[in-house]
Structure 1
């Protein structure tokens, strides 16, 4: 077939495509004004899953006993419609409130911020969630001290107020639905008696969106969260179909072997679908999902960088409620995005004072980010090495002991306290973050593995971790299975660096007997000699240091079976020094 024949076919194809596009109905032309949903009659801005072009807020009418809508990642039951309001319920919050559980205050009432539609709720109570380690008193505020890891402050002037601000920079602001009528009652009411899982949801559609809707368009937002009126997805699909067919004909004419590129695209698309399916099906406890425009907004367009690494860059950010966060923007992920899934899956299952909290995440095309609570003192590595002492204050021995004990408790929780055992596989000073009170929190779960069974032996295709902290069985499998004892080894190596104020392997040491610090420490422990550690001022500090050293030397035993569990490590650190036995000589 000559070139003129191919050109003739190409023109006919485009004419037929664009003729069919002009005959398309507009997106909203077949949308019902109202539809039955459970016991309520709903309409725009709500839409059924089968009619995504017919509204702005999806409602699943087939769930029982009530329809469900989702706002900012939280699923609510639709109870009834009252004029311009819909009564909704958070069933998980209802369970927590009935149990008077402090987990109730993890269910922050958050509404989407969009130039298309504005949501409002009434009534709600604004609470300020503050670290319990700081003794505070705020005039005019009531406090609730029934939760172990935080204190709540509130007053009735903060009821349904959208202008409230945290009473201190270290406090985060949360909103919880409040029972009608408590706004004017006395301040002596029990906090849980004031709260409810039900709330009235109202909405206002922007004038631009109403005009777009009346013209048969679809209301959208662009990457900068600016309003956009689209002509409709069907027309786009038809245009892209025509272009795609034309390209395929051209490629066939030129005999280009495009099949390998198609397989590559299909593979990437499959990886994307797998991650998306995981996030959607993760369950009610999944963290909040942010758009990439949200990430840009909360980081002020990535102005304040906190650090960087092989995974990407970390920026400081602010939430709408004033809370401070650290945003880790990931580089393009390798393979199927296992690191991203590991991080979200692992840390979402945790709730412990020594585990960093994941506030939310972003998964939008190739843009991926993780949003954590902000740790003002950064990572532990800034405070333990002597060569950095001129830039930051050194920690005294009681503080080092407290940090070592806190990390041990966090690891014990990961290994035993979760419903699903979590193995971290990258314990090191860089991954231990310190809050304003130098309370340690384990972070960076990108290499973690979940163990659904009681035993923690896991299969691994290759070594994972950081040189200097990797357990020997990860590299040499004939030493034993890879398990939670691998985290114990990494913990021991890290605490020894905290004790010595230096890397365990130090090439700058002139005396070769001090080249490998754990070896040198073991010899002095065995001979019952002074440890000659810097900064020890009294017998109490000497005892803390000696317990940290003995526990760590047990942790770095070559055979995993000879290492203690993290539960035993906590007991060793909290127990009497005289009851601790010197460990056998490790094969180093």
Structure 2
């Protein structure tokens, strides 16, 4: 199917993805999972999660292979790859086209709809726990699709919304605070909301939220950096925030999504309302929790 793994599309924590072609002639993405990860738990999570999901903003699983300790997942091929290569300006490949603010805004709404489906509309509630630009794939029309369900947790609709986990999961910079500090609140769909919010701020800011080489705390703590620019109406990239409604809207929604306490974050349904509703109805979010330290 992959012509002896001829074309490598990418590599992540759970495996390597290659381009393939099925007998009908359609292109596919073949994900070969690492043998050392989780004794197959990620493989089971991914098959169980994606096979239960059917939505325009969720990647489609065509099939899988399980032969001894060899595990592979066959997905629809997404010609534009992952979102991260389009939003980070540092180290930007000149051959990669820049996306317009309208395109980024539509991508943000598409991801939100995919998450709303997982949390609310899918027969089995699914918590993703690893939402980040690298796990958002774009088709030929830049329609976003959520992928990589290796860390996902399934929950019956009859069960309470707060769940228990034996281990913290996610990627540094996107992990909700309650994942590592249980005193802040329970782990729920609001943990995905936090990750989505941080990703939304990255989409607008054009940089990763962790900036290890920064000289000042305010530069390191990305939400504060972007909140300050919103307050002062200073330039963000090449545009002034006030002159770009889509950018301002995404910043406000993103900052609401990353509130420290889960119950202060909106649901994904509310996020969609905020993204698509009137600008006049959007309230300014509180300063990020670490802003006092950043001011010093």
Fold shared by both chains (TM-score > 0.5)? yes
Is contact 2:233-2:240 (8 Å) kept?
A: no
Q: Deviation at 1:578?
A: 1.1
The reply on whether 1:324 has 2:31 as its aligned counterpart is no
Q: Deviations over 1:289-311 (max 9, x none)?
A: xxxxxxxxx11121111122332
Is contact 1:396-1:535 (8 Å) kept?
A: no
Match of 2:129 among 425, 448, 452: 425
Task: Tell me the number of residue pairs that the alignment of Structure 1 and Structure 2 aligns.
Answer: 288
- 2: CA distance between counterparts of 1:517 and 1:565? 22
The reply on whether 1:490 has 2:192 as its aligned counterpart is no
Is contact 2:197-2:253 (8 Å) kept?
A: yes
Is there any run of 5+ residues in structure 1 with no aligned partner, and where?
1-297
Q: Secondary structure of the residue that 1:320 maps to in structure 2?
A: coil
Name the CA shift for 1:355/1:522 in 2 (closer, same or farther; >3 Å).
same
- 1: CA distance between counterparts of 2:64 and 2:201? 34
Q: Deviation at 1:509?
A: 4.1
Is contact 2:20-2:29 (8 Å) kept?
A: yes
Is contact 2:62-2:74 (8 Å) kept?
A: yes
Q: What is the aligned partner in structure 1 of residue 251 from structure 2?
A: 549
TM-score scaled by structure 1? 0.47
Q: What is the aligned partner in structure 1 of residue 293 from structure 2?
A: none
CA-atom RMSD in angstroms: 1.7
Q: What is the aligned partner in structure 2 of residue 348 from structure 1?
A: 51
The reply on whether 1:462 has 2:164 as its aligned counterpart is no
Q: Deviations over 1:552-578 (max 9, x none)?
A: 000000000000000000000001111
Which one has a bigger Cα radius of gyration?
1
Match of 1:533 among 212, 236, 253: 236
- 1: CA distance between counterparts of 2:38 and 2:134? 25
- Higher strand content, 1 or 2: 1
The reply on whether 1:472 has 2:177 as its aligned counterpart is yes
Q: Deviation at 1:463?
A: 0.8
Q: Deviations over 1:189-248 (max 9, x none)?
A: xxxxxxxxxxxxxxxxxxxxxxxxxxxxxxxxxxxxxxxxxxxxxxxxxxxxxxxxxxxx
Name the CA shift for 1:508/1:390 in 2 (closer, same or farther; >3 Å).
farther
Q: What is the aligned partner in structure 1 of residue 151 from structure 2?
A: 447
Higher relative contact order (CA 8 A, sep 6+): 2
Is there any run of 5+ residues in structure 2 with no aligned partner, and where?
291-296
Q: Deviations over 1:133-171 (max 9, x none)?
A: xxxxxxxxxxxxxxxxxxxxxxxxxxxxxxxxxxxxxxx
The reply on whether 1:407 has 2:111 as its aligned counterpart is yes
Name the CA shift for 1:470/1:495 in 2 (closer, same or farther; >3 Å).
same
Q: Deviations over 1:342-385 (max 9, x none)?
A: 10010011111110000100011111100000001100011101
